[in-house]
Structures are given as structure tokens and as C-alpha cells.
């Protein structure tokens, strides 16, 4: 009878076909590692919490090893559980690649494509999604905004198929990192707040500023720029998204720093001016990141081809 061999550390267990692993159980396990909470993982999988917990226990019994540390709440994975998770991700990636390759062989590149993106790259993500849909109508892009760390974690744990994030700090050990474009910055200021056709970072620091929250990578970049200049920015408001910052700037609360690409998607601004930030001119490379495992998934390869054409 056929068997599936799964390595756990330096030992192998043979699972006979009649006891073949249920892919649904592996999917539940990955949901638990993402949410680190039984109830939320169960909800994502469309199961009651008791039914979800039973699937995890069934997986442990089938493999003959403890995967989850026991307690009233999720307390993490055992060492062997971490190995099981790594194999589960590879197995489910291979299954997905098989399903999509069969469709691709019929001339259909189709399926969901979830892209995690830092807030500053949202306009570019929108352009990519539009181009991708025109070329491959069967692909349904899903764009999720998060922090740079959230992008990397999401790509690594399978929450995202790909990510758009700053190339600096992206882990090339775990991810395939491909440079896309350089992010430049402009000041969006209420009319009359700043004069001239451009403004230095030092002068911008003296204006009332609306910036992203400190945990966002964009904010850390701006803070470092001001620190390098010996300037202390006057921050009057903080937000975790650019829409609120732009709205507050339009209403006259203060100015905000936005990527040039985002500013170009805004169209006409009736109550604000856009001024390039100089002295110095700052550029930060943004990259496409994809997991090293599961290479060859058709929708991800279609995304990669699309961004290459756009460069």
C-alpha cells in the first residue's frame, strides 16, 4: 500500500494510505499559526472551536507527536510542531501549484492572489492589480495594507502570496527580493502654509506635520531623515494610513509627507500644494517579495511577469 513519508527531525514516520493526511487538517494548523488563537483560527476555517480543536488533535494522533503546547490558550508550537508547520506549508503550496498548473495547461491562469503591501506602495499595488486583470481576467487580486514587518511575516507564513515592501530589511534568506522602483517624497501642505516650488526637509520640520504612526516603516524613515539633519519635526497628529493624513492636510490642520507616486494618483488638489522635498533628495527602494518555497505557482509567476513589464 502506498505511503507518505514525513520527516520530523531525524526520524521518519510512515503514514499508510488508509490514514493519509487530510489537507484540511494542515490548513487548520497553518491558520492556527497565523492567528495564534483557536477561536479566530476556527472562524477563518469555517469551523466551530471544538471541531477545529479536534482536527488539530487528529493530526497529532496521526503523526504520533505533540504539535501544539497544551494550555487554556494557544501557547505556541512544540519543536516538532514547528517542523510539521514547515512541511505543511510546502505540501499545501505544492497542491496549489498543481491545481493552478492544470488550469494553466488549459490556457487559464486563474485564482486568488493576495498581495500584502506597505501603505506607501498601495498606489503601485493598484496599478499592478489593474494591469494583471487586463492580462489575466481569471485572477482576482486582493490587496492588504500592513506594516513592512507584517508583509514579510505574511509572505513567510502563507497569509500573502506576495508582498510589496521596502527592500531594506527584507530578509533575502527567507524571501525572493526583486527591486521595483524608488520611493521619493513630496510635501502636501495646505495652501499658504509653505512658499516656493520646493522645500527642504529642515524647513518642513518647522511646519505642523501629520505623520504615520511610529511603528510604521515610513515614519521610521522620516524620523531618521530629520534626525540626520538635526531637525526636530513638529508633529501635530499621527495616523496609520495616508487617507486620514491627506484629509487632515486638505482641511488645513498641517502638512504631510507622501510618496510622489501616491501624490500623482490624487489628481487635482483644490486646497493643498505639492512641493518636492530637497536637501537632500531621498529615494528608498521598494521591492516585490515572494516566498522561496512553492516557486512556480502560476498566479504568482503572472504577477512577477507583470511587474517586470511595468519597470
Where along the chain do its domains lie?
Answer: 3-100, 109-182+285-310, 185-282
Bridge-based pairing of strands 162-166 and 284-291 is antiparallel
In DSSP notation, 250-263 reads: HTTS-BEEEEHHHH
Q: What is the pLDDT of residues 25-52, one digit of tens each?
A: 888 888 888 888 888 888 888 888 889 8
Residue in 189, 195, 206 with CA at minimum distance from that of residue 253: 189
Residue in 144, 151, 28 with CA at minimum distance from that of residue 85: 28
109-182+285-310 classified as CATH 3.30.2320.80: no
Task: Write down the pLDDT at residue 294.
Answer: 59
Task: Write down the pLDDT at residue 93.
Answer: 77
Cross-strand pairs, 143: 115
Task: Write down the pLDDT at residue 203.
Answer: 96
Residues 6+ apart with CB under 8 A from 241: 119, 145, 212
Q: Is 45 helix (H, G, I), strand (E, B) or coil?
A: coil
**Residues 92 and 120: beta-carbon distance below 8 Å:** no
pTM over 0.85: no
Fold agreement (109-182+285-310, 185-282): yes
Residues with pLDDT less than 70, the chain? 1-20, 72, 100, 103-107, 267-268, 294-295
Task: Write down the pLDDT at residue 2.
Answer: 36
Q: What is the pLDDT of residues 92-106, one digit of tens each?
A: 877 877 776 776 666
Q: What is the CATH code for 185-282?
A: 3.40.190.290
Amino acid at each position: 500500500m502506498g505511503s507518505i513519508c514525513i520527516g520530523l527531525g531525524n526520524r521518519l514516520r510512515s503514514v499508510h494510505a488508509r490514514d493519509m493526511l487530510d489537507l484540511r487538517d494542515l490548513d487548520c494548523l497553518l491558520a492556527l499559526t497565523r492567528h495564534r488563537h483557536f477561536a479566530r483560527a476556527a472562524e477563518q476555517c469555517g469551523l466551530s472551536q471544538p471541531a477545529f480543536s479536534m482536527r488539530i488533535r487528529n493530526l497529532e494522533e496521526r503523526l504520533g507527536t505533540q504539535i501544539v503546547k497544551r494550555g487554556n490558550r494557544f501557547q505556541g508550537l512544540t519543536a516538532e510542531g514547528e517542523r510539521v508547520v514547515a512541511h505543511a506549508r510546502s505540501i499545501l503550496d505544492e497542491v496549489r501549484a498543481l491545481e493552478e498548473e492544470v488550469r494553466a495547461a488549459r490556457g487559464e491562469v486563474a485564482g486568488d492572489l493576495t498581495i500584502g503591501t506597505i501603505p506607501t506602495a498601495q498606489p503601485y499595488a493598484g496599478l499592478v492589480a489593474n494591469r494583471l486583470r487586463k492580462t489575466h481576467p481569471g485572477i482576482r487580486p486582493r490587496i492588504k495594507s500592513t506594516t513592512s514587518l507584517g508583509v514579510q511575516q505574511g509572505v513567510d507564513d502563507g497569509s500573502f502570496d506576495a508582498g510589496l515592501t521596502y527592500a531594506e530589511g527584507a530578509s533575502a534568506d527567507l524571501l525572493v527580493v526583486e527591486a521595483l522602483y524608488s520611493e521619493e517624497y513630496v510635501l502636501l501642505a495646505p495652501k499658504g502654509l509653505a512658499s516656493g516650488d520646493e522645500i527642504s526637509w529642515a524647513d518642513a520640520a518647522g511646519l505642523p506635520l501629520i505623520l504615520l504612526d511610529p511603528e510604521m516603516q515610513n515614519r521610521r524613515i522620516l524620523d531618521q531623515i530629520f534626525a540626520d539633519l538635526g531637525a526636530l519635526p513638529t508633529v501635530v497628529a499621527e495616523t496609520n494610513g495616508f487617507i486620514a493624513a491627506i484629509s487632515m492636510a486638505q482641511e488645513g490642520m498641517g502638512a504631510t509627507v507622501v510618496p510622489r507616486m501616491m501624490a500623482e494618483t490624487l489628481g487635482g488638489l483644490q486646497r493643498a500644494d505639492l512641493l518636492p522635498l530637497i536637501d537632500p533628495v531621498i529615494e528608498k527602494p521598494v521591492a516585490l517579495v515572494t516566498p522561496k518555497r512553492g516557486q512556480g505557482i502560476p498566479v504568482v509567476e503572472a504577477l512577477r511577469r507583470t511587474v517586470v513589464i511595468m519597470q
